[in-house]
Chain A
Amino acid sequence: MTQNAEHVLDHFELFRGPEYQQMLANKKKMFENPRDPAEVERIREWAKTPEYREKNFAREALTVNPAKACQPLGAVFAAVGFEGTIPFVHGSQGCVAYYRSHLSRHFKEPSSCVSSSMTEDAAVFGGLNNMIDGLANTHAMYKPKMIAVSTTCMAEVIGDDLNAFIKTAKEKGSVPEEYDVPFAHTPAFVGSHVTGYDNALKGILEHFWDGKAGTAPKLERQPSEKINFIGGFDGYTVGNTREIKRIFELMGIDYTILADNSDVFDTPTDGEFRMYDGGTTLEDAANAIHAKATISMQQYSTEKTLPFVANHGQEVVAFNHPVGVSATDDFIMALSRISGKEIPEALSVERGRLVDAMADSSAHIHGKKFAIYGDPDLCLGLAAFLLELGAEPTHVLATNGNKAWAEQVQAVFDSSPFGQNCHVYPGKDLWHMRSLLFTEPVDFLIGNTYGKYLERDTGTPLIRIGFPIFDRHHHHRYPVWGYQGGMNVLVRILDKIFDEIDRNTNVPAKTDFSFDIIR
């Protein structure tokens, strides 16, 4: 018996004990009908080959380890960015359990969302009654200022009409006639979570700007000096949104953050549970129509929202998850141009500090090869930053990236001599990435938590940037946007590089001549 009360062994150590090892070996040999170890080894080696890669890339129907989630998750993420708002997902309830778990696992925060709990009878007769009862219950129980409705694949397949359902629910008294119930159809079989973010945000703006689903007059735009800012589906929303607010304030710009979910995913532990915290006020959401311009930090998270906003007479500016010096320069200059405000010295100093840091450290990154995967905008932002550091973003992959995205990434490659041998992979998954890492190895991999399997299989060290990050804590509190955000990304990359150097040089009397104390 290895377990003891004084030093309790948990799963990390317990099962390495001889009695467990013996037990597991017996189980395998006698009862699992295991494959011949030689055959396992042969297939394992084969799965690393160019031949396997070719078969793997010839796949047409199967998806393995995709780097994307479904629309409704994005809708929930956007909806909680409004003051006192609860997302209401019309469809099967299990989906909502999943969205809440997924967000809680990433942010280590509560995630509030309700479902209309449709079951077989709703599949046959439609979910109208679920909507009528559901809205009434949510309104009574959680006293939200707004209920933002989206759908699951189930409600979409049976064709439930949200506009009509919400109208009927209001007629039946579920919520008051004038109560705000914006909605968006977000089928899970179209696009990904970034599409859902886009649809939900557009739905909310449309609600306030275009006459609240026929219950109020459309708003007349009266141009103001304000600037709207949309972060997009962003796992760093807590740190990023706050950093962006700081920049706006430094510049003296009057702004509205649309879908500001930075506080609801970062509530304090002080004896009180806040279901709602922070968020864009409903008044600001309505008044956002008057703004001078709307800036999206992620073009692919706002593909429908931006044209909608532009159609209401505003300038729109889209970025692709800007990381690093030039990308932040472009963002700051756009802010300055649109607002007519000077770029303050403080930001110039911050910029200089990021350049300073890159100059101090880029020798360690220069020429290194990276593989990146994640959401389309994130991939663009990180690829551009790596090129800026003299690194090669060799494989750039987005399961939810399309042809237009691939062309955009190619243009980033083409803008730098370091991009010459880099390739972009739209619509591919992490099993494709595995083949890429075996057949065209790189020095480092950048991606979310799921990349740890790639790290284990291929030996490529993983730098965790993206969504979701389940197995490391608190990354979301640190920005990746702005000059300070660039600094954080730089440090995260460097830490991994130095850890790897140390790991590779730490054998006494063998490799430790390079185990340097100064770098």
Chain B
Amino acid sequence: MDGMDGQRAERWTADQVLALAPDASSRKAGTALATAARWSGTGSSGTAVWGLCAGSGGTPYQAVVDTAGPAFRCGCPSRKFPCKHALALLLLWAGGEVGPAAHGGGRPDWVTEWLDARRAREERTSPGGRGTSGGGDPEAARRRAERRAGRVAAGATELERRLADLLRDGLAGADREGYRRWDETAARMVDAQAPGLASRVRELGALAGSGGDWPSRLLEETALLHLLARGCLRQDALPAPLAATVRSRVGFTVDSAELLAGPTVRDRWLVLARHDTADDRLTTRRTWLHGEATARTALLLSFGAAGRAPEPALPVGLGLDAELAFHPGARQLRAVLGPRHDTPLPGRVPPGVPVAAALGAYGEALADDPWLDAWPVVLAGVVPIPGGTGWQVADGDGSDAVPVTAGGAGAGAGLWRLAAVSGGHPVTVFGELGHQGFRPFTAWGGAGAEPVPLTV
């Protein structure tokens, strides 16, 4: 008996379905399509839900969703992912309008084929099922790694020289030089296969002459870059976890499959927040998880080509029983999602701390990883204080507060949503707390409250 039929899919709420939509227009289109009249041959069995949706053409689109992924497939030509048909199908299912098919029977062949293919693919890529991929000869791999280490070290040495030159002459003229000097240095770091150093150099270029007390901020970031370059050059002298942190900061990546082959942490992970940022080429998705038993916070990073939403599309508020493999480092946060064990259930309001404790958590994290700009925290019992010049989030009792950072376009709308949820009363807020302040991502109004995403 295969696992997918063995699991009984818990119905999602419509909110959880809609949270999967890649954008507002998909949400709208999906909802419009979610009427039984547009669908035929719908059914569900195990974690699979399927149906045929009449489109503009002659043949209806075959849509199927595996809610355990969630994974989607639809015959329509849309490049949205999931497409409106998959969303509509799930909405119908969430509304109880898709009946279960007779066990095993009644499932159309095209559904079974897709499920089988998907399972086969999963077995191929899962750590247990896959062979030693990643390019055969371990000796050749070792030589490649050595060559890269050498290039990176040379890059870090050059960076140190350039930073020294900069400070020997003084920063006073740095704002007049424009980006050219920084861009050139960044390009050298790319050549040296140290993308982490390159992006920090580019940020320095943006800081110079950026208004306000820019010399102070530029010195801060220059000093931290210097610290990273020094750490990179003296990795051997560092404790292993710190060395791993330095390596990841410099830009060494670890293969996900390799991580999942190692130890994993199984817990009931609550999806705290999801946030996508996009540039011309790439959409980056950050998904924060909180482990109920381990009390650990994890960050999943995923990427999608421009215009396509990255996977996984885990809805905020979901609780999933899953294994995570953490990236190595002194302060582990980033993780990859491993096998999932059960059908996801709605999660609870995460436990939180007051402002001072949250600041303390950031401080402690800095001791392990001084390059952290912010640390994910759940603030509990806090009140948002709107202000013309800037917002604060303050403890419900006492006078402790942190300033709220204005985080990009549309942040204002999110802050007002936070204020509306609070209504002057204490709330639980998840966000990132750092030296620039607190950036809220999700709010919970009270006990048993649904999460309210603040960044979309």
User: Does A associate with B in a complex?
Assistant: no
